[in-house]
Amino acid sequence: MQLIQGAKVAATVLEECQREIAELAKLGKKPGLAVVLVGDDPASRAYVRSKDKKCKDLGLHSVKHELPENTTQEELLALVAQLNADPSIHGILVQSPPPRHIDESAIVRAIDPRKDVDGFHPENVAKLTLEDPTGFVPCTPAGCIRLLQDAGVATDGAHVVVLGRSMIVGKPVALLLMAKNSNGGNATVTVAHSRTKNLAELTRTADILIAAIGRPLFVKADMVKEGAVVIDVGINRVEAPGTEKGYKIVGDVDFDAVAPKCRAITPVPGGVGPMTIALLMANTIKACRQLG
């Protein structure tokens, strides 16, 4: 069993980013990212802090906006408009999910697609579907593909089962896997979700299983084929009495039970998570280059 170490691959991506940042600096350019958080969900707060910190470590310009829970739609739209117009900002990320009174789709559509480093704007979703390389690919799906490539897992002709159909992971990763290329594409993809019948029967046919449903330890050993590759996108906080924080992070896969059957598997934490942040940095650099 091969442990796919996301932290190591992420470090390689960040080294590539560092080289590009140095090149841009020679041209007098510094990529800038604005991260916006509305409300005080502890997990979202932790993500936003780590994105901001990673930016600063790399020498990117980073601005963090932490807004109160009762921020109105209009106030948030006004901030997005201000960031769209700010020439020092090349990437804008509004942490998902926002509080319930905010219309997330309207916020995503308000972001200048050229600064949409999350790849959630309809224009970038279209570009992903059309395989147009000028678009932005969502960071977590791009991270999954890069991990497969780095681990030497060929997707050509493989049957990939994606568990989950979210805008952030399930749908875009399915599009990337079925794209017409041998770099993480050319797969036969099945997208399964909460209404899928005979789920275990289906997942057992997967050469590659991507779990992105947000349910702790959902994937059990009897759902995985011997020799399969498993990518666990889940980041779930579960209670852990007696530990310092009182909680621990587990994936969507019951790692201890599943890992012995796998050809390769990502751990949680230290698998897909670090890749998401690294790819966000890469997208911000791409936005800076493309904005000119």
For residues 230-249, which are near ligand GUN according to CB under 6 A?
none
Catalytic residue among 95, 115, 116, 225: 95
User: Contact between 139 and ligand GUN (CB under 6 A)?
Assistant: yes
**Closest CB to ligand GUN among 118 and 232?**
118
**Region near ligand GUN per CB under 6 A, out of 4-12, 19-27, 92-100, 251-259:** 92-100
User: Contact between 252 and ligand GUN (CB under 6 A)?
Assistant: no
Residue 95 annotated as catalytic: yes
Residue 56 annotated as catalytic: no
Does 164 show up as a binding residue in the annotation?
Answer: yes
Three-state helix/strand/coil letters over 18-41: HHHHHHHHHCCCCCEEEEEEECCC
For residues 191-230, which are near ligand GUN according to CB under 6 A?
none
User: Contact between 284 and ligand GUN (CB under 6 A)?
Assistant: no
Does 165 show up as a binding residue in the annotation?
Answer: yes
Residue 118 annotated as catalytic: yes
User: Contact between 96 and ligand GUN (CB under 6 A)?
Assistant: yes
User: Contact between 272 and ligand GUN (CB under 6 A)?
Assistant: no
Does 185 show up as a binding residue in the annotation?
Answer: no
- Give the contacts of 273 (CB within 8 A, at least 6 positions apart): 6, 235
Task: Give the Cα separation of 137 and 122 in Å (integer).
Answer: 12
Distances (CA, A) of 95 to 71, 92, 120: 14, 10, 11
Q: How far is the CB of 257 from ligand GUN (least distance, A)?
A: 26
Return the structure tokens found at 280.
């966000």
What's the chain's length in residues? 292
SS3 of residue 232 by DSSP? strand
Contact of 96 with 138, CB cutoff 8 Å: no
Return the structure tokens found at 54.
């990673």
Among 62, 166, 266, 276, binds ligand GUN (CB under 6 A): 276
Distances (CA, A) of 157 to 144, 184, 187, 188, 191: 17, 11, 5, 6, 16
**Closest CB to ligand GUN among 63 and 154?**
63
- Catalytic positions are 51, 95, 118
- Residues within the interface to ligand GUN (CB under 6 A): 93-96, 118, 139-140, 168, 276
Residue numbers in the known binding site for NADP(+) are 164-166, 235
